[in-house]
Amino acid sequence: MTNDQTAEPIARERKSVKASGLWFGLVLVALGVLMTLNRLDVAPALSIGRVWPVAVIGAGAAKIYDSWGTPGAESGLGLVMTGIWFLAVNFRIFGLTYQNAWPLLIVGVGISLIWRAFLEEAAGRGRGEAGDGR
């Protein structure tokens, strides 16, 4: 193994630790600031029951960052889209409710399947070009 081959997994491991640690730290800071502002009567606190999808969006963003350029980024994208769906329903954006918005989840699963098919096709082409020509 050359130095380049060993350096890439180490760099990827460092990036993963930084993204997850950064996200967790940001969530703690945001929660602390919101609770402090609420206790000081500076700003009313939003109900956690309505804004919890922000944590799902953040976890998805960290997953995308950790696995950028790999098929694993798809799961992060799914988390982000699911979090956005829950936020839209919780705040009734465009009149969405759980009763009338569930078909959007089916659309999301369909988009995910299409995305996966394109990634697999691109990965197959990449392997064929880099292979021994068979």
Residue 96 belongs to domain spanning: 3-130
Q: Please give the C-alpha separations between residue 37 and each of 27, 33, 50, 52, 73, in angstroms, as whole numbers.
A: 15, 6, 18, 18, 35
Report which residue type is found at 78. Answer: G
Which pLDDT does position 134 carry in this prediction?
47
Report the domain count for the chain: 1
Q: Please give the C-alpha separations between residue 56 and each of 30, 50, 60, 73, 110, in angstroms, as whole numbers.
A: 15, 12, 6, 15, 20
Which pLDDT does position 87 carry in this prediction?
92
What is the end-to-end Cα distance of the chain in Å, rounded? Answer: 27
What pTM does this model have? 0.64
- Angle at alpha carbon of residue 69, lines to 11 and 22, rounded to 5°: 55
* Residue segments in the chain with a per-residue pLDDT below the cut of 70: 1-18, 20, 45-48, 126-134
